[in-house]
Amino acid sequence: MAALTLTFDNGPEPEVTPYVLDVLRERGILSTFFVIGEKLLDPPRLALAERARAEGHRIGNHTFTHSLPLGLMRNEGAAEAEIARTQELISELADPDKLFRPFGNGGIISRALLSKAAVDHLVGGGFSCVLWNAIPRDWEEPEGWVERALDLSARQDWTLIVLHDLPTGAMAHLPRFLDAMAARGVTFRQEIPPDLMPIRRGRIMRPLDDYVSAGLAELSA
């Protein structure tokens, strides 16, 4: 039976995240919210992350500023700080797996995702790096993403989809997507597909050459 893991990036947002949480609660679906660290400096946004965690969702780290893929950062310590500052703000909301999702700049999986310094920080800190296999580009086409998401999900047995709880209007169509998936008999899973977690609790699970900008040889599993 096909499976779907829901994830939401770039929040929390007071205009959108409460609605997303309500939709998920109504359907008994658990997901993971990959939050931007600087947004948690705002108490109402932090409260939304706390609500999500209290309702059973996982909270992951999606960098502090979401400004540049870590593999493109050249200032010493910058990539590590993007991860560490956010994790400090997530604090007790953190998942036991210490989930981290790199910024893909449009959902692109490439060697820009991580730097060697970022990998060293993730490994040393016991983090799990979470990738994806479905990007319906809801931020770009807030009215038309559902059809693309349904098509992407139909092509694979276990889909990990990236949506965005941002004020674009896209999440108004979340119920339609979820109901269409349920009608297909899809199983909603909160777990991360193992093949989309190249680093798990600080352990490199497979070679990282496709994700790291430099210094690859010593990172092979």
Q: Kindly name the residue from 9, 97, 138, 165 that is annotated as catalytic.
A: 9
Please give the C-alpha separations between residue 177 and each of 35, 100, 132, 170, in angstroms, as whole numbers.
22, 25, 18, 11
Whether 57 is a known active-site residue: answer no
* Beta bridge mates, 90: none
CA distance 129 to 153: 22
Question: 88-115 b/e with 16+ CB inside 10 Å = b?
Answer: ebbeebbbebbbbbbbbeeeeeebbbbb
CA distance 154 to 68: 31
Which residues, including other chains, have CB under 8 Å from residue 114's CB and lie 6 or more apart? 70, 71, 79, 102, 122, 129, 208, 211, 212, 213
CA nearest neighbour of 40 among 73, 23, 17: 17
Whether 164 is a known active-site residue: answer yes
Q: Kindly name the residue from 66, 121, 164, 173 that is annotated as catalytic.
A: 164
CA distance 107 to 103: 8
Burial of 19 (0-12, 13-18, 19+ CB in 10 A): middle
Q: Looking at the annotation, which residues are catalytic?
A: 9, 164
